[in-house]
Amino acid sequence: MSVTQPTSVLFCCDYNAVRSPMAEGMMKKYYGKRIYVQSAGVKNELDVDGFSVAVAAEIGVPIEKHRVRSFHQMEEWGDRIDAYDLIVALSPAAMRQAQEYTRYHAIDVEYWPTFDPTGLGESREAKLAAYRQTRDQIDKRIRERFGPPDEEEEKGEEAP
């Protein structure tokens, strides 16, 4: 964990449908009162993945209402990518896209190679197991990078 924590984080992956929505949801649950969090994809051609929704819900992270968006759409909607302190890329394509922003803006970028569970497993249970592996990988990296969540936030409770 670094000494200085960012105040805003953008997670990104290929389609903003599997990995980055899970990361965004976990960050909002764990650190949402301290760190502004969003996610984006290089492309936005898919809806949020149902298996991601299911495995995120297992740990109390609701992402079923997530709106898939690309970097380009975020900017069209008025969200300035250069306003983020940190971009966390979860795929090679997302890393390349994130690095484009560093050519003109002072943004920290971290690459967290993250397992892509799509297309794996024949049965529903096998698919869920692959998605759980990805969820747990992201959860572990988040906790290592940003430290322990606030107890109230992790439990989903409001602080007094």
For the entire predicted model, the pTM comes to 0.89
| Beta bridge mates, 37 | 9
Mean per-residue pLDDT for 44-52?
Answer: 89
Q: Which tens digit of pLDDT belongs to each residue from 54-68?
A: 999 999 999 999 999
Closest by CA to 35, choosing from 67, 10, 62, is: 10
Q: Give Dmax over CA atoms of the chain in angstroms.
A: 46
Q: Which tens digit of pLDDT belongs to each residue from 108-139?
A: 999 999 999 998 888 999 999 999 999 999 99
Residue with tokens 């805003």: 8
Closest by CA to 84, choosing from 64, 59, 110, is: 110
Q: Note the CATH number of domain 8-147.
A: 3.40.50.2300
**Distance in angstroms (rounded) separating the CA atoms of residues 120 and 114:** 14
Closest by CA to 29, choosing from 67, 69, 58, is: 58
Dihedral angle computed from the Cα positions of residues 39, 42, 47 and 50, in that order, rounded to the nearest 10 degrees: -70
Tell whether the model's pLDDT for residue 82 goes beyond 60. Answer: yes
Closest by CA to 135, choosing from 53, 66, 64, is: 53
Tell whether the model's pLDDT for residue 159 goes beyond 50. Answer: no
